[in-house]
Amino acid sequence: MHSDPEKDLGDDEREPLYHRDESGHFTLTEKGIEQYRKRFARFGLRVEAIHTLEDFQNALELSAAGLNDHRVAIASHGPRSLERNLVVAFARGDEVEYLRLLHLVERRNTLGLRVVDPSSVVTP
């Protein structure tokens, strides 16, 4: 069995996730189906229903928005901190608040300040 150098993937090349032929027909590869099935399924999308590049791009946008909402929900319920608020502002797309908090975090880090939890202080 001889290998075809034009079709063989080098060590640094990743297997394609989809193919498009000259007519524009779109097909996910097995690797693409494997990679996107769980991500799309979380938001009620089936990879088998994706037939065009536009379908695929729409599925990516919908799942990205859903993942972003999920991250905001997780971060919003975490313990209050500058970092948590920074992540929430970024995820919500609030650029003014994000930049304000980023400036505070950078100033705090420059000054070497840290918050001490009073419950973790050991008294003799």
Contacts of residue 82, defined as CB under 8 A and 6 or more positions apart, other chains included, come to 101, 104, 105, 108
In tens digits, what is the pLDDT along the chain, a chain of 124 residues? 444 444 444 555 677 888 888 887 888 899 999 989 998 998 899 999 998 889 999 999 988 888 777 777 777 777 778 888 888 888 788 999 989 999 998 888 888 766 656 665 555 5
Two tokens, residue 52:
């065009």
For residue 40, the model assigns a pLDDT of: 92
